[in-house]
Amino acid sequence: MRPSDFICKQCGNCCRNLYDAYQHSVDQSDVDMWQDNARDDILAWVDPIDIGNGRYVYDVWINPNTGGDVERCPWLRKVSRQDKYICKIQDVKPRLCREYPKSKRHAMETGCKGFTG
């Protein structure tokens, strides 16, 4: 759960450099949510990895054209003529995004501005 004194400034730093900001996997509940909402556009960016016994780990955001990791979230969009970014999947974004950042330290390490004045 994210710290209570965090306020998103829409700087986009968490989504512009995924290597620093996130672990790169989601759990079954996120995949179920996307399936329930018929979000095949999102599921195309998910790579299920069989870890045995009918269990999977789901890597995200894997480019469906190349099969490679992406540095920037494919759902991030810059607001026209502003220094702000928005999430195009805000209503169904994965838990790891909803809970970002894990701590003030995590925010500082990833360039998040949600704790600065």
What would the pLDDT profile of 66-84 be if each residue is shown by its tens digit? 999 898 999 999 999 999 9
Q: What's the order of all strands across the beta sheet hosting 55-60?
A: 25-26, 55-60, 46-52
Residue 58 lies in a domain: yes
- Specify the number of domains making up the chain: 1
105: helix, strand or coil: helix
23 or 104: which carries more pLDDT confidence?
104
Residue 32 lies in a domain: yes
pLDDT bucket at 62, cuts 50 / 70 / 90: very high
Residue 114 lies in a domain: no
Contact call for residues 107 and 9 (beta carbons, < 8 A): no
Side-chain-side CA neighbours of residue 116 (13 Å):
9
Number of residues in the chain? 117
Domain span holding position 62: 13-109
Model pTM score: 0.86
